[in-house]
Structure 1
Amino acid sequence: MKKLESRQDIENLVNSFYSKVVKDEVIGFFFNDIAKVDWDKHLPKMYSFWESILFGQMSYKGNPMAVHFPINEIQAMEQKHFDRWLELWKTSIEENFVGENADMAIYKSENIARLMAYKMDLARRL
């Protein structure tokens, strides 16, 4: 197992994660059917997002929360969906990486999932 320490590592992690997501019965439909993700555009954004989160590179420009609200209006993004997202993310990390940055990627993802689940639920109630 190797340490998570470069942009290339992040790209490998993100690619591993999304290869699971697109086939997943619980959350895959959000990406494939609802958002109809253009992977050539989405993946580089996710590389930059995680590079910013983990390495402070500030290469990501965007508002991830805002992108999810329209999807949430079409199909409720519920706690079970965030739990599954988190499970796939953690699995992707644990299959490939060890060390402080791998642990931080899990910690940060738990915070992101918690906040997004809360905000999506709140948006549905308003």
Structure 2
Amino acid sequence: MTNRTDITTLEDIKLLVDQFYARVQKDPFIGPIFQQKIANHWPDHLEKMYRFWQTILLETHTYSGSPFPPHKHLPIDHEHFERWMHLFTQTVDHLFAGTIAEEAKFRAKNMAEMFHHKITYFRDNAQ
């Protein structure tokens, strides 16, 4: 086993994001949802994710925007978020170890829970 280091650079963020979304795209459960939503806009999506995670984890403020609205009407439930979180955790643990790597998993878990609750709320209160 190789020595894993912590997430400390934009190159680390890009590695994490690229490998995570490669797993997502191949996943039979959540991959089709991403493919339908993102279609042929993967380079744009990945760039946005680089900036998002760089802002969150490295405190280099390169992302501005609101991440929730594009997810608001997706046909996803708790099981989709569990799978997303499993793939994210698996990717982080495969590549990195350290305080920021743990922070990445913590932030992803909180974000998944919040998005799930908000999507459920909007779905249950649609008029």
For normalisation by structure 1, the TM-score amounts to 0.93
**Contact 1:54-1:101 within 8 A present in 2 as well:** yes
Q: 1:32 aligns with which of 25, 35, 46?
A: 35
Q: Which residue matches 1:5?
A: 8
Distance 2:42 2:36 in 1: 13
Give percent identity, aligned residues only: 32
Distance 1:16 1:113 in 2: 19
SS at 2:26 equivalent? coil
Distance 2:22 2:42 in 1: 11
**Stretches of 4+ moved more than 6 A in 1?**
none
**Contact 2:6-2:101 within 8 A present in 1 as well:** yes
* RMSD between aligned residues: 1.0
Q: How far did 1:61 drift? A: 1.6
Higher helix share: 1
Q: 1:21 aligns with which of 5, 21, 24?
A: 24
**Contact 1:31-1:37 within 8 A present in 2 as well:** no
**Contact 1:16-1:92 within 8 A present in 2 as well:** yes
Report the CA distance shift for 1:12/1:83 in structure 2 as closer, same or farther (over 3 A): same
Q: Which residue matches 1:62?
A: 65
Q: How far did 1:36 drift? A: 1.8
SS at 2:68 equivalent? helix
Distance 2:71 2:105 in 1: 20
- Structure 2, unmatched stretches of 5+, are none
- Matched residues, number: 122
Distance 2:63 2:55 in 1: 6
Q: Which residue matches 1:98?
A: 97
Distance 1:35 1:9 in 2: 23
- What letter is aligned with 1:7? L
Distance 2:40 2:17 in 1: 15
Q: How far did 1:89 drift? A: 0.3
- Structure 1, unmatched stretches of 5+, are none
SS at 2:120 equivalent? helix
SS at 1:58 equivalent? coil
